[in-house]
Amino acid sequence: MNDMRQMTALGRKIEQGSFAIIDREVGEHSFPPEEWEIVRRVIHATADFEFAQLMAFHPRAVSAGIEALRGGCAILVDVRMIEAGLNRARLDTYGCEVNCYISDQDVIKTAKQNNSTRAIESVRKAHRLGKLDGAVVAVGNAPTALLEAVRLVREQGAAPALLIGVPVGFVSAAESKEAVLDQSRPYIIARGRKGGSTIAVSIIHALLKLSVEATS
């Protein structure tokens, strides 16, 4: 598998310089090395050092994410922006498919009929299709998608390999992430209102980098 570094020497130099600045400005922290790899990539993607206080990890989050990716898991995303940001060549090496049902006509129809949201119905569709169990679920935009994933875990025994909960916003965004803390599956979240698709992408890319290093 190709590594996760920049492709040119100058690109690698710039990236390494950025990470050095982040390490220096954050200083001492309590994250284990693998979790820190994820946190500093989130900071790198956002230039927002507050994420060093907002990121929270289930004890098995990193190992579960690496194992799932290396096993060719499905990746369920709430919006196409995450899908567009992922490096497909790196995912294809493991055989990981990316699923996003938010714009499917049946999802839109059902959401209107149920006075629901497309995000909720897209997660329900993934569960019906058997695409939720064993998947890495990455939510960067829609809190209702994250809340529905949590509900399916609690009430229907859904078993995603990893929940990445980083929706951004004001209505239910912070609450949806707190709900993740009170369920049984491994998770990575950014507490509070901050988040976004870029952060979800950076977390998955960090996990891919860690998965490569685990085989080196």
User: Domains in the chain: how many in total?
Assistant: 1
Note if 44 is an active site residue.
yes
Q: How confident is the model at residue 15 (pLDDT cuts 50, 70, 90)?
A: confident
With pLDDT > 70 as the criterion, what percentage of the chain qualifies? 95
Residue from 29, 44, 127, 205 carrying the catalytic annotation = 44
> Are 200 and 51 a contacting pair, CB within 8 Å?
no
Flag whether 3 is in a domain. Answer: no
Q: Which domain holds residue 103?
A: 9-215
Q: Report which of 180, 195, 205, 206 is spatially closest to residue 57, judged by C-alpha positions.
A: 180
How high is the pLDDT of residue 68? 98
Flag whether 1 is in a domain. Answer: no
Higher pLDDT, 213 or 69: 69
Task: Note the pLDDT tens digit of each residue in 131-142.
Answer: 999 999 999 999
CATH of the domain at 114: 3.40.50.10230
**Predicted model pTM:** 0.93
Task: Note the pLDDT tens digit of each residue in 44-71.
Answer: 999 999 999 999 999 999 999 999 999 9
Flag whether 46 is in a domain. Answer: yes
Coil vs helix vs strand at 101: coil
Q: How confident is the model at residue 17 (pLDDT cuts 50, 70, 90)?
A: confident
How high is the pLDDT of residue 213? 81
How high is the pLDDT of residue 2? 47
